[in-house]
Structure 1
Amino acid sequence: MTITSSRGAGFHTGRRLGALLGAMFLFNLAGYAAIGAALQILLPAQVAAADSAGKLSAFGLVTGVSAIASVCVPPIVGALSDRTRGRWGRRSPWILYGGLATLAALVLLGWMSTVAGLLIGWFLVQGTVNIGLNIMIAVVADQVPEHRRGLASTVGGLGVPVGSLAGTAVGALLIDSALLAYTLLGLVFLATSALLALVSREHLPGGESPERASLRTQFMSALAGLRSRDYAWAFSSRAVMFLGYFAVSSFGLYILTDYIRLPAGLTAPNALTLQATIQTVCLVLGTLVAGPLADRLNRHKLFVLISSLMVSVSVALPLLSPTWTVQLAGAAIGGVGFGAYLSVDQALVTLVLPAAEHSGRDLGVFHIALNAPQVVAPFAGSLIVANLGGYPALFVAGGLLSLIGALMILQVKSVR
């Protein structure tokens, strides 16, 4: 059954909603498997091989500059998809072509062996993979009833930890065969892109015509949604919280190599895989509980606050001791918190969108709150480690930023 919304797209119920949520889960799983394999294992190893002495600053440069692509792409693609018309609707073509472009970019990245080449390759991956990942959020706003968006965020969000774990495992297994790993991950992502494009295909009324405003006008107005107070505070809370998180997590492999005292015989890549496994189990638990419970209690903001505070604690926890036990405890706490956050945060923002007819545009801008911190965090993190007291100073800065981001969500006053 499909219920028609005021925008012309259909709200799915029953089997069609189940198919859409299943496709979203697989799509997120494949996308974050590629991202996780690259960021956690393959890309740090490639950077270290290209410049072992300056790996920290080189990795910060590669990830920081490349994240500019993930900042610029979402609002542009969101605005373009809002005005796209055709028999496949607004969103599906972008999901499919984004999958094709991501496969090509991943294969190119696998061929690179210099810092400059890795920067170019990862820049292209960041730009292409975020096409579909951003459009999927707009699909939720278009086609999922408001009272089911917590469930949608939960199901889609489950793909993030499972995908990250799978990607980390693939990366550790194929750490010496980066091209093969990237190719396999890219092919799986393309397959899930095709599936989601098919399932999320819209049937727009024949009388609905494309928007007459020029793309330039739409792009210039992309930030107009931030004039809405609640939307702006939700955006800022997410951006600052992720800035603190990425400042630490961006250097996960190097932290395990250079700071944490690992048990004898445990290598840093294998330790990262084990840590990711524990974090994923806890993350799935947090995701499964928080999303449906937030829907039932209608307290999305409260769940975002609590989960953000847990992430803040996990980021700063290694300050207690540079031991493997403390590191795993932080992974468990952060896993539960991050899972709960992922399952509720996207649902919250769909409830404070300024204008339903510009959901693609505004959700594209909101996606910047996840990607923009990736621009700043690697640069800032490498500077902190090098000049302000090493990794302990990084943990302090990350924990404080995450805490500030958590408290900022209290400024959101009106949620539908």
Structure 2
Amino acid sequence: MTTGEAELTTEAVRTTPVSRTWLVLFALAWFGFWLLVMLPGQFMVVKLASVISPGEKVGVSSFLIAEMQLALVVFVPIIGWLCDRSRPRFGRRRTWALGGLILATVPFAFVGQQHSWILAAVLLGIVAIGEAAVLVSLSAIIADRVPVAQRGRASAAMGVPQVIALAGGMIVVTDLVDGVPESWMVIALLALVTPLPFLFAYREARPGERVPASHADRGRPRLRGYRDFGWATLSRVLVNVGNLVGTTYLLFFLSDVLKLRDPDSPLMVLILVYLGACALASWAGGLLTDRWRSRRALVAASAGFQAAAALVLALIPTWSVSIVAAVLLGIGYGLFLSVDQALLTDLLPDPRTRARDLGFANSAQQIPLAPLIGWAVLSVAGYSQLYVVAAVIMAIGGICVYRIRSVR
């Protein structure tokens, strides 16, 4: 089936494999979304705060990033509920994705022109609401349209662009574009343009048709379905928290523990190694989970790789070991990006509430637990203890998937 075919029955939509073109366009849509999500938290907000309020840049940047995370936590499940209940002629997922894209990119383009952090906060709050709509609708499309046998590849099409968007976007805003206002404008334009081919070509089941449950859904008691989905969500939260605990303070680890005079350059080396391993593992993980029909073992393995990365940093804090840890962490998180999304999609308890349920899982992932854990550990101990804690959290996240009984 090509991306542009329409007027298919609901059952045909659910059982017809998606094409490579469909997956490429789907990946482009996610690339635009990840530009909006990844770059502000990693670099752009900090740079903006240093221009708007140099004397209070730490507090201002922390507030702006926390504001966007909180908005996602609140609005993702709300918009998911609304998306499930709406029946626009253009298609409920496409309508919400396109509306959210416009709502996010237009104010995003003007954030860099602000001279007041309050006005920037207002615009970024609107951006986050738009991001929530895009996240909800694109995530639900995997469950609505992609057969179970291809969900690993579709999840990889969601995960790999996250890595490319971060690496490529950082190059754009640091090397290719001069000036803070121009960088926000360029990223907004890229984020708006790249999802459009998919959103205009994608065809949904006709409004009013009820999408039947997948084979994984049929015959499963409703409460048990939510039980397994809850364990998968808990696993996702723990692995992500552990990963953030391990990566957030890496710059301080390089300067305070390894005593590197200029930690910025070594940090960039580690990031590039990490992102390269992450992209390859995400692509391979999508293929493997579809071929082997295995989700739980691969999620557990992804958590194991990441826990191992944190442990080697804790036990052998040297530069050469840091490179090894970056590879292990990238392999683990890349594998997790593709397989975990496929696992969650397979476990959706009710076909009528897919966007809402995925919204709760995505919302829980945004809860800022990592900074609290990092602050608590570093207040009483050092970086070795911090990485041990990160390893334990990720290991528990990997173990949690074996509480799931309805899928492999």
TM-score band w.r.t. shorter chain: 0.7 to 0.9
Q: CA deviation at 1:74?
A: 1.6
Structure 2 Cα separation of the partners of residues 336 and 406 of structure 1 = 15
Q: Kindly provide the amino acid, as one letter, of the partner of residue 185 in structure 1.
A: I
1:296 equivalenced with 2:291 (yes/no): yes
Displacement after TM superposition at 1:233 (Å): 0.5
Matched residues in 2 for 1:380 and 1:113: separation?
Answer: 33
Aligned to 2:14: 11
Distance change (3 Å), C-alpha of 1:5 and 1:203: closer
Q: Which residue of 1 aligns with 2:360?
A: 365
Q: Is the 8 A contact 1:102 1:128 kept in 2?
A: yes
Does residue 166 (structure 1) correspond to residue 164 (structure 2)? The answer is no
Contact 1:309/1:402 (8 A) holds in 2: yes
Distance 2:239 2:335 in 1: 14
Matched to 1:299, the amino acid is S
**Code of the aligned partner of 1:236:** L
Does residue 279 in structure 1 map to residue 274 in structure 2?
yes
- 2: CA distance between counterparts of 1:198 and 1:135? 14
Unaligned stretches of 5+ in structure 2? 211-221
- Structure 1 Cα separation of the partners of residues 309 and 348 of structure 2: 30
How far is 1:257 from its partner? 5.7
2:310 and 2:53 map into 1 onto residues whose CA distance is: 27
Q: Which moved more, 1:398-407 or 1:337-346?
A: 398-407
- The alpha-carbon distance between structure 1 residues 208 and 406, as it changes in their structure 2 partners (threshold 3 A), is closer
8 Å CA contact 2:278–2:330 kept in 1: the answer is yes
1:143 aligned partner? 145
Listed one character per residue, the Cα deviations across residues 278-333 of structure 1 (whole Å, up to 9, x for unaligned) are 11221122122222211221111100000012122324443245544333222211
Residue of structure 1 equivalent to 2:216: none
Q: Report the CA distance shift for 1:151/1:321 in structure 2 as closer, same or farther (over 3 A).
A: same
TM-score by length of 2: 0.84
Q: Deviations over 1:225-266 (max 9, x none)?
A: 89721011001111122122223434455555665544x6x6
Change (3 A) 1:57 1:156: same
Give the match for residue 394 of structure 1: 386
Q: Structure 1 residues 145 and 335 mapped into 2: Cα distance closer, same or farther (>3 Å)?
A: same
CA separation of 1:324 and 1:182: change in aligned 2, threshold 3 A: farther
Which has the higher mean CA deviation after the structures are superposed, 2-11 or 316-325? 2-11
Q: Residue 376 of structure 1 aligns to which amino acid in structure 2?
A: L
Kindly report which structure 2 residues correspond to 1:19-168, keeping only aligned pairs within 5 A, or say none.
19-47=21-49, 59-112=61-114, 119-168=121-170
Q: Which residue of 1 aligns with 2:350?
A: 355
Give 1:12 deviation, angstroms.
7.0
Describe the SS at the equivalent of 1:10.
helix
- For residues 353-410 of structure 1, the C-alpha deviation after alignment (integer angstroms, 9 at most, x for no partner) is 11112111111111123212xx23234434543x223544433332222222122111
CA offsets, 1:183-214, max 9 Å, x none? 11111111123223213331415x649xxxxx
Q: What's the counterpart of residue 216 of structure 1?
A: none
The residue identity in structure 2 corresponding to 1:377 is A
Q: Which runs of 5+ in 1 are unaligned?
A: 210-223
Find the residue that maps to 1:299 and give its secondary structure: coil
Aligned to 1:229: 227
Which residue number corresponds to residue 220 of structure 1? none
- 1:215 — aligned with what? none
CA distance in 1, matches of 2:206, 2:225: 29
CA contact (8 A) 2:77 2:360 kept: yes
Identify if the C-alpha distance between structure 1 residues 243 and 136 changes in structure 2 by more than 3 Å, giving closer, same or farther.
Answer: same
What are the equivalent positions in structure 2 for 1:181-330 lying under 5 Å apart? 181-204=183-206, 208=209, 228-252=226-250, 260-262=258-260, 268=264, 270-320=265-315, 322-330=317-325
Match of 1:408 in 2: 400
- Which deviations, in whole Å up to 9, do the C-alpha atoms of 1:97-120 show, x marking residues without a partner? 211122133234323566656655
1:331 lines up with 2:326 in the alignment: yes
Inter-partner Cα distance in structure 1 for 2:64 and 2:257: 22
Tell me the distance in 1 between the aligned counterparts of 2:254 and 2:51.
17
Counterparts of 1:313 and 1:333 in 2: how far apart (Å)?
7
**TM superposition shift of 1:170:** 2.5
Which of 354, 370, 377 aligns to 1:377? It is 370
Letter in 2 for 1:171: V
Q: Does the 8 Å contact 2:7/2:206 carry over to 1?
A: no
SS of residue paired to 2:407: coil
Q: TM-score, normalised by structure 1?
A: 0.83
8 Å contact kept, 1:149–1:347: yes
Is 46-55 or 244-253 further displaced after alignment? Answer: 46-55
- Aligned-residue CA RMSD (Å): 3.3
Give the counterpart letter for 1:234 in structure 2: A
Residue type of the partner of 1:337?
G
CA contact (8 A) 1:3 1:11 kept: no
